[in-house]
Amino acid sequence: MPDDALAFAPISRQAELVRAGDVSPRELVELYLGRIERLNPRLNAFRAVYGERALAEADQAAARLKAGDARPLLGVPLAIKDNVDVAGDVTTHGTGAYGEPAREDAEVVRRARAAGAVVVGRTTVPPLCALPVTESPTFGVTRNPWDPDRSPGGSSGGSAAAVAAGLVGAALGSDGGGSIRTPAAWCGLFGLKPQRGRVSLAPHADHWHGMTSIGWLTRTVADAALLLDLTAGAADVDADRPAAPERPLAEAAAQPPGKLRIAYSLRVPPGLPVRPSQEVRRAVLETADLLRTLGHDVAERDPDYGPDSWAVSVRVLRGVADEARSLPRPERLDRRWRRIAAVAGAIPDELVRRARAAENAARARMARLFADHDVLLTPVCPEPPIEIGRWEGRGALWTVNGAGRLVAYTAPWNFTGQPAAAVPAGATADGLPLSVQLMGRPDDEATVLSLAAQLEAERPWAEHRPPLS
């Protein structure tokens, strides 16, 4: 297989090639390290690259393979977002406020390694993972491989840029308001925010007061399902413990969804000055038409978001402030982020408790829609990939308000905790990726994955590669 084809092959295919002896783990790691060396200076997708360490892990994987080890991802390279601990490396959260290297892998990293994966490095994030773009005063600007003058999104922007450009086959992300889905949408990838608690947050019990989920950015739906099967499950410390899926999610992704009742909506929560661009609107309406041709019942219906935007903001902002306080050297934050953290840190505990309690009513309102529909279709972001530096030099309030508008379609589903995915949906006139969002009932990643795989079969997006690859 040519090197470029191997670099862009699904990780499930890479694992098959390793098991068959058609490619060695070292060859696979060397391929990606070479691509990172060539392209990362232009993209800034990786904050740290584990060259010698990854090669040593690849050689260990080869020895295990020779001894008959059959781990499902043996020798397959992955990348980890820089807000999740990897033993022996600092976790920067996109800032200079970090301390000593982590002593242990986070639970999700441990499980990926247990499946045989090789960690090749850490991907870039914005400060405190609190922006829908990946631009850091400490680690620089991360660029979109579809257009380097555009953002890959955030906060999992480094992970998205790395996967889209073929620097790694899959990368870990986290999502507290859209941080998997926005980068996936802007980089032409599949990105599922799983049910809250599906993937362990350990060593943390929760994050951003219950808003955050961990998941993977991949080129194919099948790869996302495989990675979720291999890394899902609660650890002792986790506050959220959803029931396990009735069957492996990889099986769900491989089977047609049957006839579904699908709602679509272009509306955002009340009070937000957000309207989707014409191209974003077109992506949703064309996807609705495609779903009709596939035999689904599709109708326009707006969710009853209710008056909960304040509660979403409270949980996110206080979560950002708590993150800043938890860093070993918070005084090293730049002035803008010190200001944001100080203002958000003044949110009282009682208001946070009220914001968390408001979730029950929101879930009940959403349940009324899902009583009549299996899936909800909306935009991911109101705009295609935005220009680099939109908030450069802007103050704290301008930055927070601007970021809030970009996550208007995604953050409500962090509030309710249910699964939501970004699914590629064509391109703009300039060739930039477009995407739509699919939401499922609580605990029902299976239906989202199955429907997304059906769309992927009709629109085989993984065949398209960005110019900077």
Active site residue ranges: 81, 155, 179
Cα 253 from chain centre: 18
Q: Hey, what's the torsion of the CAs at 192, 30, 129, 194, to 10 degrees?
A: 20
CA pseudo-torsion sign 342, 343, 348, 352: negative
Q: What is the DSSP letter of 147?
A: B
> Which of 210, 212, 184, 194 minimizes the C-alpha distance to 380?
184
Tell me whether strands 297-300 and 213-218 are parallel, antiparallel or unpaired. Answer: unpaired
CA pseudo-torsion sign 290, 252, 301, 427: negative
Give φ, ψ of 139 to 5 degrees.
Answer: -115, 5
Which residues does residue 22 pair with via DSSP β-bridges, in sequence order? none
Please state, in angstroms and rounded to a whole number, the distance separating the CA atoms of residues 301 and 261: 11
Please state, in angstroms and rounded to a whole number, the distance separating the CA atoms of residues 86 and 90: 8
Please state, in angstroms and rounded to a whole number, the distance separating the CA atoms of residues 99 and 186: 32
Please state, in angstroms and rounded to a whole number, the distance separating the CA atoms of residues 339 and 346: 11
Cβ atoms of residues 239 and 273 within 8 Å: no
Q: Give the gyration radius of the chain's Cα atoms.
A: 20
Residue 438, classed as helix, strand or coil, is strand
> Which of 306, 405, 426 minimizes the C-alpha distance to 360?
306
